[in-house]
Structure 1
Amino acid sequence: MKERTHETPGAPSGWWRHLHELWLAAVRAQDVTMLATRVYSALSEVPGAAAVVGARWAGRETSYLRRWTPDSDETVTWYPAAADWPGGAVPPPVGTPGEPPRVRRCDPGTVAPLVAPALRGTGAVTVLECLFPLGTDDTAGLWIALDRPPSEDEEQELRERLEQVADILMVSNRRILEDEVHERRQARDAFLAEASLQMDESLEVEETLRRVARLAVPAVAEGCAVHLLRPDGGLEPVATAHVAADAQAWLGEVALHDAWLAERLRQVAGQSRGRVLRGGDLSGGPFGPDAVGDGKTIRALSVSPLRARGRVLGTLTFLYHRDDTSLADLPTLADLAGRAALAIDTATLYAQRRQHVETLQRQLLPRVLPEAPGVLLSAAYEVGDPSLDVGGDFYDAVVAGDRISLFIGDVCGRGAEAAAYTALARHTLRTLLTDGMAPERTLERLNGALVEEGAARFVTALVVTLTPAAGGGWDADIAGAGHPWPLVRHADGTVEELPARGLLLGVVPGAEYAPHRVRLADGDALVLFTDGLTEARAADGTCFEDLLHDAVRGIGPVDELSARRLVTAASDFREMGDDDTAVLIAHLRGRP
């Protein structure tokens, strides 16, 4: 048994030391129960103390009962589930947070039933009881049992001490609760920020839907289902996820076929706020204690509407197997659903725009290349800019009599204006070459048309006309307007650059373009391309232009996929550079 020294109420220095130490501990405590040793140490030095008892309870459920007596060196703590639990009935809740503690004097026979058994055998004659609220539906109490009736001054001193201790505990608990709220808010904000980043990383609708389902399991709940609104008004499951792999198939079936769930989703989809279902709300459905199989252990279900830009997109459903749902409050779910809906809507709009751009882009390029006697044509086009603006690269081929004309070009910039000039350039060149006009004259006419239009964008172009030579092979008449020069891969594997000098189109009125003629042999391949091919850069800054001759030399067998293989080689090389790439290759096989 520890040795005790008693202080008189008139000698407060020791008490204030205890109180100061209690304050210092209170500012660091993570739970008020961590202050028990100091509280009981301070109160045990009250003159005549036969026992000090403390308890905490929520509603009608006791958390613990703790007692100090003079014959023990430390406190003894009991919990309701223990076999030696000495406690009785729980007192009613005491006030609300912020209300002052309630102190009363009573005898052991009228003390609260919760602590009465703990005071038996202590020799208690008088008891001072202090009850105080720690939080909503969270109450604590301290009881000092005295072995003699206190004087009026002693009782007043004890009341003040109990109130002071209770005040420290209430302030400490309030600080702890505020810290917990702050931590939960930080966790929620961090989760929502990460969720936004994850969902915004993809503009593919299906991938976005999978990310929405995956990122919330198990951070928010054990299961998740995303339903989107169909044109007929029904809800279709588009993504599911469950922390248990063997429950994944079950959840997919429930999300697709269960009528009970479909009705709840339909109800929430038409509302502005979400809904949490638990207990009796789960009756009749595939979840909760009355269900069978995987759904039996689900304790709650939350459904939030997916709304973005004033439109209802669908619902976001979470399944909870555990009691801890700290991230599952309705405001957080509403925020997450809003972010998910915006990501899904953005991905959907992106997909629609991409489809529209691809349709427009196809209109700016030939649907098929013409068949030309003695020449096998191969072409490929790759979009380098993910902004979904129409690019300005174009190409085409025209067969007129025994002559085959090829052209390729690039309008500066992207977007609707670039598309308009692309269409003008392509159709002008095609019309003029179909009429048999020479390459240099077609460029001069196109330059005039662009200047007349007051074009704000310059255009580069390259035109090549192939005519069968009398002694075999082909005469190639080449005219260029600021465009990359073409390459020819000879039958023996050597690669040569063909000059094609000329001013940019749409800049200088009356510009003239001089042709250049070369003789190509059967078995040669003429390669036309835009600068997206040469300007593709590796991480170290190396340009694909440095490797272009080797790439042309190794484009593989002569077939319709030759251009695609060359574009793929540049794409695999590219780490930087976002320009579109067009390639047009003419394999000269000889006229039959």
Structure 2
Amino acid sequence: MEQHEGKASCRADEGWWSGRLHELWSLADGAQDVTDLADSLYDMLLRMPGVLAVVGTRWSGGLLHYLRSVTLAEPTPSLVEFEQDFGESAAAGAPGGDPTVTVHDVSEFDGAMPHVQVLTAAGVRSVASCAVPLGQGGWASLLVGTADRDAVDVTLRARLKQVAEVTMVSNRRIMARREDELRQVSDAFLAEASLQMDSSLDVERTVRRVARTAVPAVAEGCVLHLRRSGGLAPVACSHMDAGEQQWLGAVAAEDLWLTDVLQQVVNRGHGLVLHGDELAGGPFGPTSSGAGRAVRALSVNPLKARGRALGTLTFLYHRVDLAEVASLFLADLADRAALAIDTSTLYEQRRRHVVSLQRHLLPRELPRIPGLTLSSAYEVGDESLDVGGDFYDAVPGTRGGVTLLIGDVCGRGAEAAALTGLARHTLRTLLEDGRTPEHALGRLNQALVREGTSRFVTALVAVLVSEGEGFLLRYWSAGHPAPLVRREDGAVEELAARGDLLGVLEEIEYGSGSAHVAPGDALVLFTDGVTEARAADGTFFESCLQDAVAQQGAGEAQGFAERLAAAVVEFRATGADDIAVLVAQAEMVT
């Protein structure tokens, strides 16, 4: 009878285990992480005859991430996070292949290890141990503790191996899904990040977009440093918790440990991932304080482009496994970011060079002329940053008054810049020597024809001479847009001006005329970048130019030209020509 009951109990036990194992497989099929199996798996093993405790650990090499345990005395699962490196002796326990069950006495283990302490406290004397590979260098151990070695029988060892195999297969499926998802997310993220970074040629805007795009899509925090004359300087940072943004900014700027890590990465030329004891001494990891305690890993990649080290891209993680999985992807992101930043930097350098060159093609300042207020404005229209061909100048008269000149060389680039300098300085030199505007324009035309250039030049010279309470205006035009006069009451008149282009024909004719400029009146000269600026609907600014002159001339005389140029820029949706405006306003008699 006892023998019959023993067989029935065994069959019942086998049926129970098979049912629970089937449930575990079903659970494993939809698990997002092997920890999703923990409660069921630990309960199954704890119900085995003679088992006093079940302890699981999660490792990366010798780095212990966490410990989970259940005991007969305390069957509610307990989870303790560590992020502590126990060295080579712990790493030696990593599996070399498929799960294998080994049996040990507790006395064989290092009593200082956390999982051994849990087993000992539960009264365990013998342990069945099985290590499970989890990919990305990670592994887990399952330890089933009993009061004596006899309890670690063939059935217990077989069942421990079964649940270990379920865990391993489940993890492989999870890792395969994650890798596939990561590839899809990474491809989409890199494409979006590239578009975001490439959409701006402004360095500061580019680096801010890198930081904003990466958090929280990639990690919990991101810091971007660029090399400056004084070393690495933080230029952008982002944190998923807005309240920790200031903390991260301070760490990025002031922490010496982080500065040393970043410099090591720059010197080595390749990225690194730090976790566990590698974070010791810095502001991150469980041994730190404040917001840094949540950071479990840190990845740093160098920013390199065109053979130059530009800086570093740093990410903060609350999970070590994410840092390991994302390492290759982040290297790609860093390369793309570096190229975008370098392109933006080169663009900014070129912009400064062009602005400097353009400044030398224009007068440093306008002269002070009794009875007149002169103002000017220049706006670059071409995003390619080639030097434009617009120019203007003002030459004081030997007997009072002033001679204004404005012109435009066809096209952009080095040749246009050379002709711009030739045109402006030729006209200015001849006018300063007392030559007439007709003579100066004629000499410039001859010089351009001799150059044999395919580019033409438009120019207009206007002479203002004091006459009574205002000024007598005489002007000569060589194919340049007609000047405007804004009267003191707001009315705007266009002065007739035609004439031949310079640099095309050896003999040319000029359009000329005269007018009176009374106190409060303003002479407005401009290049065709003003009239040909086009709105999104295709409307040219020329159609509203006179209204704009009337409106912008109502303010202070000194800022007239700047206001008019700003109005053109605001109006313009298309048009790659530069904008030059030169205004002479007769002062009111007091």
Q: TM-score, normalised by structure 2?
A: 0.73
Q: 1:437 to 1:273 in 2, by over 3 A?
A: same
Residue 244 in structure 1 maps to residue 274 in structure 2: no
SS in 2 for 1:281: helix
Structure 2: distance between partners of 1:283 and 1:456 = 69
Match of 1:414 in 2: 412
* Residue 94 of structure 1: how far off its partner (Å): 9.7
SS in 2 for 1:467: strand
SS in 1 for 2:538: coil
User: Cα deviations across residues 295-326 of structure 1 (Å, max 9, x unaligned)?
Assistant: 11111111111111111111111111245627
Match of 1:588 in 2: 586
Contact 1:272–1:305 (Cα < 8 Å) also in 2? yes
SS in 1 for 2:508: coil
Contact 2:134–2:168 (Cα < 8 Å) also in 1? no
Match of 1:494 in 2: 491
Q: 1:391 to 1:494 in 2, by over 3 A?
A: same
Match of 1:52 in 2: 18
Contact 1:304–1:315 (Cα < 8 Å) also in 2? yes
Contact 2:478–2:500 (Cα < 8 Å) also in 1? yes
* Residue 585 of structure 1: how far off its partner (Å): 0.8
Match of 1:382 in 2: 379
* Residue 495 of structure 1: how far off its partner (Å): 1.2
1:391 to 388, 392, 405: 388
Which letter maps to 1:485?
A: A
Contact 1:393–1:411 (Cα < 8 Å) also in 2? yes
Q: 1:341 to 1:299 in 2, by over 3 A?
A: same
1:217 to 207, 215, 218: 215
Q: 1:113 to 1:508 in 2, by over 3 A?
A: same
What does 1:162-561 correspond to in 2, within 5 Å?
178=176, 180-232=178-230, 234-322=231-319, 325=322, 329-401=326-398, 402-469=400-467, 473-555=470-552, 556-561=554-559
Structure 1: distance between partners of 2:401 and 2:291 = 73
Which letter maps to 2:582?
A: L
Q: 1:109 to 1:259 in 2, by over 3 A?
A: closer
Contact 1:93–1:139 (Cα < 8 Å) also in 2? no
User: Cα deviations across residues 202-231 of structure 1 (Å, max 9, x unaligned)?
Assistant: 222222222222221111111111222233
* Residue 468 of structure 1: how far off its partner (Å): 2.9
Structure 2: distance between partners of 1:544 and 1:280 = 66
Structure 2: distance between partners of 1:497 and 1:113 = 102
Q: 1:328 to 1:340 in 2, by over 3 A?
A: farther
Structure 2: distance between partners of 1:492 and 1:192 = 59
Q: 1:62 to 1:583 in 2, by over 3 A?
A: closer
SS in 2 for 1:372: coil
User: Cα deviations across residues 508-540 of structure 1 (Å, max 9, x unaligned)?
Assistant: 122232532333333321110011111122221
Structure 2: distance between partners of 1:404 and 1:539 = 39
1:138 to 145, 163, 168: 168
Which letter maps to 2:380?
A: V
Structure 2: distance between partners of 1:60 and 1:111 = 24
Which letter maps to 2:563?
A: R
Structure 2: distance between partners of 1:305 and 1:512 = 64
Residue 573 in structure 1 maps to residue 576 in structure 2: no
Contact 1:459–1:504 (Cα < 8 Å) also in 2? yes
Which letter maps to 1:554?
A: Q
User: Comparing 426-435 with 472-481, which one deviates more in the overlay?
Assistant: 472-481
SS in 2 for 1:539: coil
Structure 1: distance between partners of 2:184 and 2:228 = 36
Structure 1: distance between partners of 2:215 and 2:391 = 47
User: Cα deviations across residues 110-131 of structure 1 (Å, max 9, x unaligned)?
Assistant: 3353638xxxxxxxxxxxx989
Structure 1: distance between partners of 2:311 and 2:164 = 48
Contact 1:439–1:477 (Cα < 8 Å) also in 2? no
User: Comparing 253-262 with 287-296, which one deviates more in the overlay?
Assistant: 253-262
Which letter maps to 2:441?
A: L
* Residue 92 of structure 1: how far off its partner (Å): 5.8
Structure 2: distance between partners of 1:418 and 1:255 = 46
Q: 1:89 to 1:421 in 2, by over 3 A?
A: same
Which letter maps to 2:279?
A: L
Contact 1:399–1:405 (Cα < 8 Å) also in 2? yes
Contact 2:211–2:238 (Cα < 8 Å) also in 1? yes
Contact 1:89–1:114 (Cα < 8 Å) also in 2? no
Contact 2:273–2:324 (Cα < 8 Å) also in 1? no
* Residue 395 of structure 1: how far off its partner (Å): 0.5
Match of 1:111 in 2: 155
What does 1:31-180 correspond to in 2, within 5 Å?
52-53=18-19, 54=21, 63=38, 64-65=40-41, 83=75, 110-113=154-157, 115=159, 138-139=168-169, 178=176, 180=178
Alpha-carbon RMSD: 3.3
Displaced runs of 4 or more, over 6 A: 48-51, 56-62, 79-82, 129-134, 173-176
Contact 2:134–2:172 (Cα < 8 Å) also in 1? no
Which letter maps to 2:508?
A: A
Structure 2: distance between partners of 1:295 and 1:558 = 56
Structure 2: distance between partners of 1:207 and 1:410 = 33
Structure 2: distance between partners of 1:59 and 1:346 = 44
Structure 2: distance between partners of 1:307 and 1:474 = 62
Specify every segment of 5 or more residues in structure 1 that has no aligned partner in the other structure, as ranges: 1-47, 68-78, 97-107, 117-128, 141-172
Structure 1: distance between partners of 2:559 and 2:547 = 18
SS in 2 for 1:560: helix
| Higher CA-based Rg | 1
SS in 1 for 2:207: helix
Q: 1:569 to 1:62 in 2, by over 3 A?
A: closer
| Percent identity over paired residues | 55
Which letter maps to 1:113?
A: R
Contact 2:531–2:541 (Cα < 8 Å) also in 1? yes
* Residue 590 of structure 1: how far off its partner (Å): 7.4
* Residue 588 of structure 1: how far off its partner (Å): 2.1
Structure 2: distance between partners of 1:585 and 1:313 = 45
Contact 1:488–1:498 (Cα < 8 Å) also in 2? yes
Q: 1:306 to 1:415 in 2, by over 3 A?
A: same
User: Cα deviations across residues 47-77 of structure 1 (Å, max 9, x unaligned)?
Assistant: x98973535699999655599xxxxxxxxxx
Q: 1:184 to 1:467 in 2, by over 3 A?
A: same
Contact 2:275–2:320 (Cα < 8 Å) also in 1? no
* Residue 191 of structure 1: how far off its partner (Å): 0.7
Which letter maps to 2:439?
A: R
SS in 2 for 1:198: helix
Q: 1:130 to 1:94 in 2, by over 3 A?
A: farther
